[in-house]
Chain A
């Protein structure tokens, strides 16, 4: 009896500590979202106070008086198109590397993995020269191709390890039924890779949505770039319009939080499977 009450107290104590630490962790995000609904005066007067009313002026200003909507659109296009291209290209490569176990495919695999070690800064300067030479500088196509190329290493690592787990018999049966290579891959193997694809989509999508340096440098100046880059620019330019910048950060964070709530499983799976295989 005594033992069980002690256990109870221990459990309750741990619960309270976890709750406290977690609330502390969550506070900066709450602070960010709260401030988006406050006027500049309110933010400066009492930064911790809850907003007193549903004040939407910051959002209205940002969405009608600035070019932020263009930036939102750019962020959406960059993220969506890059992810779709990654899905069209990378799983196929991972599949072929794993199924065609030849010397040259092993070499290609190592060649891809080597790229995971190269930091973006190590090649960014020549990259912009190259984009200019290819006529891709200043358009969304440049960053999109760079995002796809940059995802090849980690993507192949993920896909090869998962293709390993798919029994070859399924593919052989389909081949006997007269299915071609493309058909086998897209109709039979690819659907089985759904969970990996979901993990890649959410993790890479998040990375692209949040990226700063590449869109800042590769998109034309004088035009709105992506949400993150616009927020950075506003911090420098409108150094006292905190309310408006908070609204911008809220608009960039809220969709991510929503996606996370629904796709949590795939974030967790992607991180832990990438980690154990890496």
Chain B
């Protein structure tokens, strides 16, 4: 034991070094479980996809044959893949537009309505609580040709001649999936827009209305521009979720009739697990991943720029 005065400096240095390394080891212990699981069950299989995409693996046999870029060449040429890409594009663009328009309209209604605000918000949000499978089943029943509610209503109002097999008709199957998915998805984005609306100071619209702006002008020049932040988030989130849609297609149309509603996610599943071409499936999965990456990055760039301008 030395005298305190002579060793004080050393001790402080030693203490701070020890403190730092103990801080590091505590942080590592806290982070480690997440790090291990995430690496093992997200990153490793993703890298596995990159590897398998260069093979003709069927998903079962031990024999994993390396075939270079053949899978990607097939993607480039296959009419079925092009059709799936086209369907994915139609689905995504329509969903993003319709979901966001519906969500903004719903948010405005709930924000402005005087009575039962909470109840109305909950009712709009309810559909988002359903799984894609349940939602798909309910809409399959509503759109059923023989006894579905929709055709029943058409009959009741004298439009019986418009009744159709909505999901069995290649021209309407995609429209049906899009509209029922808007029903399911819009409530989620409504919550985000509502939070945005509540952040807009009421003085602004009050001042505008004193200046004689009508409610349409107020929306156009005040409310909508100030929702730019929420719009960015909702556009990005709705795009990603539209690109990933799977459950309702599985239930409502199984990609059909023919290939009318086969999207990129659905073809990955069909090819990988139905046709046992998992090498080709992973190559398609990587295309989906890259597509999501590119679209998101572009969207964030463009929309952020727009936010700044306003």
Contact = CB atoms under 8 A, between A and B. Distances in A.
B112 A272 contact: no
Contact of B114 (A11, A102, A126, A210): A11
B76 interface: no
Interface string B91-135: 000000000000000100110111100101011111101111111
B33 A89 contact: yes
Interface in B250-283: 250-251, 265, 268-269, 272-273, 278, 281-282
A200 interface: no
B289 A89 contact: no
Interface size grouping (class) on chain B = 35 or more
Contacts of A264: 118, 122
B42 A18 contact: no
B35 A108 contact: yes
Nearest to A234: B137
Contacts, number: 261
B152 interface: yes
Contact of A149 (B27, B30, B42, B246): B42
A145 B45 CA distance: 13
B293 A217 contact: no
A92 interface: yes
Interface in B226-261: 229-230, 233-234, 237, 240, 243-244, 246-247, 250-251
Contacts of B153: 48
Contact of B46 (A97, A118, A228, A275): A118
Interface of B: 23-24, 26-28, 30-31, 33-35, 37-38, 40-46, 48-49, 51-52, 59, 106, 109-110, 112-115, 118, 120, 122-127, 129-135, 137-142, 146-149, 152-153, 183, 187-188, 191-192, 194-195, 229-230, 233-234, 237, 240, 243-244, 246-247, 250-251, 265, 268-269, 272-273, 278, 281-282, 285-286, 288-289, 292-293, 296
Minimum-distance CB pairs A-B, first 3: A126-B48, A210-B131, A96-B30
**Consensus secondary structure, chain B interface:** helix
B109 A18 contact: yes
A90 interface: yes
Nearest to B236: A278
A122 B49 contact: yes
B269 A121 contact: yes
A32 B33 contact: no
A109 B290 CA distance: 21
Interface residues of A, number: 91
Contacts of A209: 131
A55 interface: no
Contact of A93 (B30, B244, B250): B30
Given A127-B45, A252-B134, A148 B147 contact: no
B250 A232 contact: yes
Contacts of B229: 276
